[in-house]
Amino acid sequence: MFSPVFAVTLSFGYLAFLFAVAFFTDRLRPHHKQSLVGSPVIYTLSISIYCTSWTFYGAVGSAAKNGLEFITIYLGPTLVFFAWWTVLRKMIRIASQQHTTSIADFISARYGKSARVSVLVTLIALTATTPYIALQLQAVATSFEALISTPTLSIRSSNFFGDIGFWVAVIMAVFVSLYGARLIDAKEQHAGVVAAIALESIVKLFAFVAIGLLVIFGLKLGTQGSPLAPEQLNQASAQVLSLRGGGALRWTALLFLSSAAVLCLPRQFQVTVVENRRERHLATASWLFPTYLFILCLFTVPIAITGLRLLPGSDPDLFVLSVPLFSGYSNWALFAYIGGLASATSMVIMASIALSIMMSNHLVMPLILRFEALGLSRSTDLTRVQILVRQANIAVLLLLGFLYYYLSRSNEGLAAMGLIAFAGVAQIFPALIGGLFWRDGTEVGALAGLAVGYLLWLYFLIFPTLQDTGWALVAGIPDPQGLFIAMDVDPLVGALFWSLSLNVLAYVSLSYASKANALERLQSAYFVDVFRSRRLGESALYERSAAVGDLYDLTQRFIGRDQTYRAFRSYAERQGIRGHLPKPDQNLVPFVERLLAGRIGAASARVMVASIATGETISMDAVIKILDETQQAIEYSHALEQKSTELEAIADQLRDANEQLKALDIMKDDFLSRVSHELRTPMTALRSLTEILTDTDDLSQDEQQRFLKVMAQESKRLTRLLDDILEVSRLESGMGVKLTDTVNPMQVMRDAIAVVEANASTAGVKLVNALPARWRLRALSDSDRLQQVFVNLLSNAIKYNNTPNPSVVVSAEKQDSYLLLHVQDNGPGISEKDQKTLFTKFSRSWQDVVETTTGSGLGLAISKQIVQQMNGEILVRTSLGQGARFSVKLPVFKAGSIEAADARAAMTASIKPE
């Protein structure tokens, strides 16, 4: 036995040590803090607050009373972390993106940031946590009492202040509010607390394992120095290892309860989801946490067996403490006591923080903010108010816990109180899981399910525990426990079955019966599809605007001056603006709302922002368009199709361009090779004849004259060739033709005929002028160039006409606003194939036809260019053996008409810029 002073000192010493750990962790430099709290092991250890004094003391008690049933409490979380860790991952992803602060906030966010949902979830959590906290108080009080055994303090004292539990509650309230509520972080992450909690998890594991090792190796499972026969050992073992209890139904129910609890308990949500810093830490937790549970589970059995053998008849919930105490290992008992204290404090700390956040965000602050009369809601810095509210909440919570403990203390074991709490939070489970996976769950459905489950749970499980206290004032309500027992159903199983069945029924049926609003649908899609890459922007749905200054002031009131300054400045920085006031854009209002949500919850943040933001409109069309997954998929694939069609079109264009380039390349090669040929031919003659003239001494006068004449011809030919090449290139670049003369094309043709008449008679070609005399037509043209074209055509027709009776006929024809001048010969004609390349430079086939003496072979190419620049064209109609008709088609107008001026203007406008 220990003196009360010693026990109290020890307890305070431990608490002070914890506080120091939390304090100094928060004082660490950010990167040290990060490397400590940012480790997956710390994360896993903090999750181990799942194991409270219920598991520390109560599991052994449960094993002694009900056999292996206690395993289910470990098995549920194990299954969740092993098999369902993807669900946790989903929750973590959503929570971090939505700046979720608590489970109530999380669920309310899912159902359209509904304030009503958050209030209801908070109420359920508060009610369910109350017996849980009572359980911890009872465990600490009982263990303290066992440790000191003094008559002055008792857990059965009839006045408040004489009860150990009261003092435990007071001390814890002070302790928790000292640091849990002091720290207000935008994401509600508490590094110091997490470090302390992780340390507590190590302490309780070590303590429990130590006691386990003590009973196995020190006490030989109670056989050491004991007169009891081995068969009694077997009997105790059989009792602990039995599968007694409520049978398969109860086991299933317990398994479900513990699974649901590890997801829904506010403090588990806090450590697993809110305090999570890296999603991948979950991977470590998914095996390390079950391992932790397995170790605890493993040592529960020997401690229970030893307790049953050594201390039959004593309270099995205290075996962990009483076995070492009464077998001469009292120092070990101290260790066990510290372990139990660690289990209890860690639970109370975390549950208080989680619940105080929920209570202040969802119950108290919204009320305060509505009291305009208090003068709070416009200008006051609310961060201090928030802290006070949270500290008050913690006090209230522990007071409630104490009251429940005080009023119901006589009738329930630790495990039973724990299970009642579990059944309470399990009412959140349908709305939570449905919200994560079921698109159609609505706010109304969630409210209905939660309310039905909550009320039934109160009636079935809370009400009976308070019956003896006189609190059950409503007379005439049948005792539900009695009902279940009468029906031969385990009361817990019955209560759980009915409350959850009706909860789910209400949730599903009312979800179907009600219509989700735009925000609900948005959030629903967001939660269910969080892992799809597409992030829905609220800004796409809402057109909200607010003055930047207003938003700044609002934010400052809730998260404080410094944090607001930093947040706004970094937002402005992202916009490339110096200073702390960003440009208002479509994301600013949602940004502020998220900032506030991290402090006061999504629902309250929404209300606050709405109070200053104006012009909020929701386009249902936009909502449907964005949310309809099928539509999205269709649009997406449609867009892809369009893209690929565009790509194909571009590829086609490229192919065409490539073909053109290839053709141009071939033409260029052809041109060069043709130029080379055309240059080399006169050069060859010149060189060869020069050599003859120099090398031959005995040349006759005649020969000399003849050769020199050929050389002169070839020189001229060279010059002409060079001129033509230059001209083609000039014409091709759009130069060389000036449309400044108003000419009569027929007169130009007559002049051209006069030029070639001599040649024609020399060649014996009959030249016929069939031009009409009276047409007074004019064209805007360049008369010299036009004459050059006509001369070229006439010359060709004369030169290449090798028929016996050669003739060339020149005629004219009107076609709309065009004049056609025809040059028809009765020569050999041009094959269809050759016509295609007729107008290209040095057309080889043309060369084949027209052959020799033609000058450069560039004549037609030049003519074509000239006529094109006069906005006309050269046409050819011919077939092999039928002669050829070349026609120049020119736009004309009547001489002296009004059109003349217009045409002149129009043509000038259509000339290529030079």
Partner 1 sequence: MQPVVLVAEDETSIVESLNFILRRAGADVRISYDGEQAIRDIANVRPHAVVLDIMMPRKDGFEVLKATRANPDLAGLPIIMLTAKGQESDREKAEALGASAFMTKPFSNAEVVATVMQLAGQRLADCQASAATAPAADG
Interface residues with partner 1 (CB under 8 A) are 673, 676-677, 680-689, 691-692, 695-696, 703, 706-707, 710, 713-714, 847-848, 851-852
Q: Which is nearer to partner 1, 445 or 828 (CB)?
A: 828
Q: How far is the CB of 859 from partner 1 (least distance, A)?
A: 17
Q: Which is nearer to partner 1, 533 or 700 (CB)?
A: 700
d(CA 355, CA 390): 9
Q: Which is nearer to partner 1, 2 or 846 (CB)?
A: 846
Residue pointed to by tokens 């702390």? 580
- Sheet containing strand 884-891, edge to edge, reads 766-770, 807-815, 818-825, 884-891, 873-878
By CB atoms closer than 10 A (0-12, 13-18, 19+), residue 712 is exposed
CA 176 to chain CA centroid, nearest Å: 38
d(CA 595, CA 553): 13
Q: How far is the CB of 845 from partner 1 (least distance, A)?
A: 11
Return the structure tokens found at 190.
Answer: 């508490």
Q: How far is the CB of 848 from partner 1 (least distance, A)?
A: 5
Q: Which is nearer to partner 1, 387 or 699 (CB)?
A: 699
How far are the Cα atoms of 230, 270, 377, 434, 522 from residue 602, in angstroms, in the given order? 62, 16, 18, 19, 14
Q: How far is the CB of 913 from partner 1 (least distance, A)?
A: 38
Q: How far is the CB of 726 from partner 1 (least distance, A)?
A: 21
Q: Which is nearer to partner 1, 468 or 703 (CB)?
A: 703
d(CA 683, CA 882): 37
Q: How far is the CB of 715 from partner 1 (least distance, A)?
A: 11
Q: Which is nearer to partner 1, 410 or 700 (CB)?
A: 700
Q: Which is nearer to partner 1, 713 or 910 (CB)?
A: 713
Q: Which is nearer to partner 1, 453 or 828 (CB)?
A: 828
Q: How far is the CB of 692 from partner 1 (least distance, A)?
A: 6
d(CA 544, CA 674): 74
Please name the residues in contact with 325: beta carbons below 8 A apart, sequence gap of 6 or more.
146, 147, 333
Return the structure tokens found at 840.
Answer: 């290209």
Q: Which is nearer to partner 1, 540 or 722 (CB)?
A: 722
Q: Kindly give the pairing relationship between strand 741-743 and strand 777-781.
A: antiparallel
Q: Which is nearer to partner 1, 695 or 914 (CB)?
A: 695
Structural contact between residues 398 and 133, judged by C-beta atoms closer than 8 angstroms = yes
Residue pointed to by tokens 């008050």? 392
Q: How far is the CB of 745 from partner 1 (least distance, A)?
A: 34
Q: How far is the CB of 639 from partner 1 (least distance, A)?
A: 51
Q: Which is nearer to partner 1, 449 or 682 (CB)?
A: 682
Q: What radius of gyration do the chain's Cα atoms show?
A: 51
Q: How far is the CB of 635 from partner 1 (least distance, A)?
A: 56
d(CA 301, CA 240): 7
Q: How far is the CB of 725 from partner 1 (least distance, A)?
A: 16
DSSP letter string, 777-845: EEEEE-HHHHHHHHHHHHHHHHHT--SSS-EEEEEEEEETTEEEEEEEE-S----HHHHHTTTSTT-HH
Q: Which is nearer to partner 1, 406 or 846 (CB)?
A: 846
d(CA 512, CA 332): 59
Q: Helix (H, G, I), strand (E, B), or coil: what is residue 647?
A: helix
Q: How far is the CB of 799 from partner 1 (least distance, A)?
A: 13
Indicate if the alpha-carbon torsion angle 434, 436, 439, 445 is positive or negative.
positive
Return the structure tokens found at 419.
Answer: 């299970």
Q: How far is the CB of 702 from partner 1 (least distance, A)?
A: 12
Q: Which is nearer to partner 1, 676 or 733 (CB)?
A: 676
How far are the Cα atoms of 155, 211, 317 from residue 146, in angstroms, in the given order? 10, 16, 11
Please report, as a single letter, which amino acid is at residue 172: M
d(CA 353, CA 102): 10
Q: Which is nearer to partner 1, 808 or 850 (CB)?
A: 850
Structural contact between residues 103 and 428, judged by C-beta atoms closer than 8 angstroms = yes
CA 468 to chain CA centroid, nearest Å: 55
Q: How far is the CB of 636 from partner 1 (least distance, A)?
A: 54
d(CA 794, CA 810): 9
